[in-house]
Amino acid sequence: MKYYSLFFASLAIILLTVFSSCDKKEKEDPIIPNEEELITSLYYTLVDTLTNDTIVFSFKDIDGDGGNDPVITNADLQANINYIAFIELYNESVDPRESISEEVKQEDDHHQFFFIYTPGLNVTIEYADSDDNGNPLGLESSLSAGEISNGELTIILRHSPDKNALGVSDGLIENAGGETDIEVTFDITLL
């Protein structure tokens, strides 16, 4: 009888310890190392280096994927002109809108924009900013418009790309890896 009492007492202590430790783990909040922010809007602003005229391309998808179609505003550019370009990202589903560009700047070593344009579009885009390690970021760039042409420009923001992979620092996305935070395609005509 003494052995049964000792057995049940030991079993009770073990079960109590197991259940109390499980209970503590369930009550702890999970740690999310880098929760993604909602990006509803991208503004691609180009400033003519000669006249300071400003042209804005925009993408807005306030309700996110699957709801209403995004609203995309395209624009025409002047041929044979150089532009300074800026990207602004926002979450405009909240009031006041939240700047996601600031988060991208703060986590610059974990982000990079890529600019992909159709072969018939006579433009050249170069990075004008970099992360803390000297690798390209892309919130700021330059766009050189060549001869009259038209085509598409796709802007892609990658989270956690391999910035040391072959060609990534030159803007080639093929070896970048990572996850796409936003991808937007604009129609561009050079007049």
pLDDT in tens, 116-161: 999 999 999 999 999 999 999 999 999 999 999 999 999 999 999 9
Say whether pLDDT at 34 is over 70.
no
In angstroms, what CA-CA distances link 103 with 39, 50, 109, 150?
11, 31, 11, 33
pTM above 0.95, yes or no: no
Q: What is the pLDDT of residue 36?
A: 63
Say whether pLDDT at 47 is over 70.
yes
HSE-up (13 A, CA, CB side) for residue 117: 20
HSE-up (13 A, CA, CB side) for residue 160: 5
| Burial class of residue 39 (count of CB atoms within 10 Å of its CB; 0-12, 13-18, 19+) | buried
As a whole-number percent, the residues of the chain with pLDDT over 90 amount to 77
H/E stretch holding 2: helix 2-27
Say whether pLDDT at 80 is over 50.
yes
